[in-house]
Amino acid sequence: MPVLSLQNISKRYGAVQALTNVSFDVPAGCVFGVLGPNGSGKTTLLGIVTDVLKADQGDFTLLDQPASARQRQQIGTLLETPNFYHYLSGYQNLKIAATIKQRGADDIERVLKIAGLTARQHSKFKTYSLGMKQRLAIASALLGDPQVLILDEPTNGLDPEGIAEVRALIRQVAQSGKTIIMASHLLDEVEKVCTHVAILRKGNLLLSGPVSEVISRNDFVEIGSRNNQ
Ligand code: ATP
Least confident interval from 85-89, 194-198, 224-228 = 224-228
* Sheet-wide strand order for 75-78: 75-78, 148-152, 179-184, 31-35, 196-201, 204-210
> Residue 18: which pLDDT band, with cuts at 50, 70 and 90?
very high
Is 40 a pocket residue for ligand 1 (Cβ < 6 Å)? Answer: yes
Is 36 a pocket residue for ligand 1 (Cβ < 6 Å)? Answer: yes
> Residue 229: which pLDDT band, with cuts at 50, 70 and 90?
very low
Element (H or E) spanning 205, and its range?
A: strand 204-210
Candidates 97, 161, 155; CA nearest to 129 is 161
Shortest-distance Cα residue to atom 2 of ligand 1: 38
ipTM of the modeled complex: 0.96
Write the single-letter amino acid at 162. Answer: G
Centre of ligand 1 from the C-alpha of residue 110, in Å: 35
pLDDT digits (tens, 9 = 90+) for 25-76: 999 999 999 999 999 999 999 999 998 999 999 999 988 776 666 666 688 9
Q: What is the pLDDT of residue 72?
A: 65
Candidates 196, 133, 199, 144; CA nearest to 169 is 133
Assess contact for 191 and 41: CB atoms under 8 A. Answer: no
Q: What is the pLDDT of residue 21?
A: 98
pTM for the whole structure: 0.93
Q: What is the mean pLDDT of the chain?
A: 91
pLDDT higher at 74 or 135: 135
Centre of ligand 1 from the C-alpha of residue 227, in Å: 22
Centre of ligand 1 from the C-alpha of residue 211, in Å: 25
Cα 227 from Cα 125, distance rounded (Å): 29
CA distances from residue 178 to 3, 141, 168, 198 in whole angstroms, order as listed: 10, 12, 14, 19
Cα 211 from Cα 32, distance rounded (Å): 9
Shortest-distance Cα residue to atom 21 of ligand 1: 18
Centre of ligand 1 from the C-alpha of residue 168, in Å: 28
Assess contact for 33 and 184: CB atoms under 8 A. Answer: yes
Which residues are registered as beta bridge partners of 151?
78, 182
Cα 112 from Cα 94, distance rounded (Å): 9
Please give the share of the chain, as a percent, with pLDDT higher than 90: 81
Is 11 a pocket residue for ligand 1 (Cβ < 6 Å)? Answer: no
